[in-house]
Chains A and B, each alone.
Chain A
Amino acid sequence: MSQTITAAHSAAIDALHSAYLAALDKGDMAAWASTFAADNARYFCVSTENDRRGLPLALMYDDCRGRIDDRVSFVTKVWAGTYEPYRTRHFIQRLSCEAAGNNQYRVTSGFTIMMSAEGGTTAVLTSGEYRDLIEIQGDSAVFCERRAVYDADVLPRYIVFPF
């Protein structure tokens, strides 16, 4: 871990991660979107296979703030009432944190997502790695970019919520 990070910045990054996980585990898409920078934010969810082979296609490709807000509408308005409900628990572990200048940090974390289908048992959805560009704004932190690279070559179901 970089020597240059202050305790306050480290705590802000931890709090951002917690807010992100809490939002998804509650299924609160608006709270999910609010963890991203108000403008110029990006979210990608992509398979390890595409990532490793340099194939640009993603499962979710939100390369501007508008698309992040549109993803909230997909889940809460477009898809409402059609999909089989499932709840998730996300677990993460920070792997690295490097200062990137201008109050920004490049942070990587391992993640695991457990899923519990309505009326069903709990199973692993997938694991993977978050590759983030995080900016400290005042006392808190936001994602400028989050890239969730998931491990499964084949996902065990169709996907509603971001990773």
Chain B
Amino acid sequence: MTSQYIGNPAIGSPTGNYTGKAPAVWPAKVNQIPKEVFGDKSLFEDELKNIFYGDCWHVVGHFAEIPNAGDFKTFDLGRVPLLIARGKDNQVRVFYNTCTHRGNQLEVATSGNRKEFECPYHRWLFSLDGALAACPGSKEFAPDFKQENFGLMEVKSAQFMGIIFVTMGKNTPPLTEWLGDVVPPTLSTLLGGDGRLKLLGYQKVRYDSNWKGYNDNDGYHAPMLHTAFRLLNWQGGTTGFQRMTKNGHVVFEAELKAIQNNGFVNDPSLVEFKGSDPAKGSRIVQLFPATVMVKHLDIINLRFAMARSHDVTEVHYAYFAHEDDDEAMVQHRIRQSSNLLGPCGMISMEDAAIFQRIHIGNQTPGFAEFQKGVTSLSEVPMDVKQNDETGNLPRWEHYRKVMGFKREGEK
């Protein structure tokens, strides 16, 4: 038996009332974001309460990372340590990574395979399904001690095509409602149609950047940054779109246009598309608050982000093949994934530089100004073009509301 804890009473419930130093009033113009929100330490504490421990779903992994019974990984949601394990019954469960006795951190490894989890402090032993299987000396425990009441605390979780979501909120809507109608079709294509993936490996890195700065710049953005596109004479497709949801998600779809090898790269396989359908070549799904997932060319990349503090964001870039791939396709994905879209990728290293540079720039007074695609200063746009930067604004509006910031002039 596992105890069902939904929400953590020790942390308190979301208040919606901001108590820090960031602007008490949000600008009236919808295309201005006050830079204070990127650098305020006390605001981060409220974001933990209202967002990370609040009524939101958070991506913490994918089933393919723990394919076999006994496989586990550890992950942090804000400062809360999680233990994600696949049981003998093949069920994936998410627990708080703490012994139910004195609170010792239960599992220290980042990943592995266990028959059970043992706390070394007093040798309490937990089954893969969280049940307390053994606790030496229990005859001398408190009169009300019952072994069945001390299973691992389970965190509420749900899955979409193997993507593992958790929430600590008490009033989080069901995951299907949270994802809405816009996200699932794009996400499904991104995950190879069905989410039957095979883990290829990780690139893990910490950025000196606020999590919102990371998220604001890791999704789709205008291609001007990327010299590689120009050097490769690689024109983006014109048939794409981006769509947003009112609760802060953004999806982007584009058709791939094959690049003509102009001799810039010696090994053009880096940018070669070997998949079957160029119309499904490029997909980005950005989920509120901090997750970005990308399929580009033959790369399937889920970016598991952890907001470590107001100025550090850790990102685990996890790359996958599809279970139905032949050996040649797997090898192609390994070669392409390693060198193209990560923190040292030919296209994306520059993104990483921007996360950190924008965080430095955001310590100054004033606003982050959105321009391209802005058609109204008072209405948050829900209909934007492929290359507009306004796709980020509904997410900011959702953030503003969740955090309880009042817009200037708002009653």
- A residues with a Cβ closer than 8 A to B are 45, 47, 49-50, 53, 55-67, 69-70, 73-74, 77-80, 82-84, 153-160
Check B227 for interface membership: any CB of A closer than 8 A.
yes
Which B residues are in CB contact (< 8 Å) with A65?
266
Q: Is the CB of A56 within 8 A of B200?
A: yes
Which B residues are in CB contact (< 8 Å) with A78?
227-228, 231, 346
- Would you give the shortest CB distance from A154 to chain B, in whole angstroms? 4
Q: Is the CB of B339 within 8 A of A57?
A: no
Q: Is the CB of B353 within 8 A of A155?
A: no
CB nearest neighbor in A for B203: A59
Check B337 for interface membership: any CB of A closer than 8 A.
yes
Asked if A59 meets B266 with Cβ closer than 8 Å, knowing A154-B205, A158-B353, the reply is no
Q: Is the CB of B267 within 8 A of A70?
A: yes
Check B357 for interface membership: any CB of A closer than 8 A.
yes
Q: How far is A83 from B227 in the complex, measured between Cα atoms in Å? A: 12
14 contacts between A and B (CB under 8 A): A50-B201, A55-B201, A57-B319, A57-B337, A60-B338, A64-B267, A70-B265, A70-B346, A79-B349, A79-B350, A157-B205, A157-B207, A158-B343, A160-B349
- Would you give the shortest CB distance from B357 to chain A, in whole angstroms? 7
Asked if A63 meets B202 with Cβ closer than 8 Å, knowing A84-B357, A158-B344, A160-B349, the reply is no
Q: Is the CB of B205 within 8 A of A155?
A: yes
Q: Is the CB of A61 within 8 A of B231?
A: no
Check B1 for interface membership: any CB of A closer than 8 A.
no
Which A residues are in CB contact (< 8 Å) with B354?
82
B207 CB contact (under 8 Å) in A58, A67, A158: A158
CB nearest neighbor in A for B204: A154
Number of A-B contacts (CB under 8 A): 117
Q: Is the CB of B344 within 8 A of A59?
A: yes
Q: Is the CB of B342 within 8 A of A59?
A: yes
B338 CB contact (under 8 Å) in A61, A82, A155, A158: A61
20 additional contacts (CB under 8 A) given A45-B344, A47-B203: A49-B204, A57-B200, A57-B319, A57-B334, A58-B201, A60-B339, A61-B339, A67-B270, A70-B266, A70-B267, A70-B346, A77-B231, A80-B227, A84-B357, A154-B314, A157-B356, A158-B343, A158-B352, A159-B344, A160-B344
Q: Is the CB of A57 within 8 A of B338?
A: yes
Which A residues are in CB contact (< 8 Å) with B264?
73
Check B111 for interface membership: any CB of A closer than 8 A.
yes
Which A residues are in CB contact (< 8 Å) with B123?
none
Asked if A82 meets B206 with Cβ closer than 8 Å, knowing A60-B338, A73-B265, A159-B344, the reply is no
Which A residues are in CB contact (< 8 Å) with B343?
59, 155, 158-159
Which A residues are in CB contact (< 8 Å) with B266?
65-67, 69-70
Q: How far is A160 from B223 in the complex, measured between Cα atoms in Å? A: 20
CB nearest neighbor in B for A160: B349
Q: Is the CB of B227 within 8 A of A47?
A: no
CB nearest neighbor in A for B360: A84
Q: Is the CB of B110 within 8 A of A57?
A: no
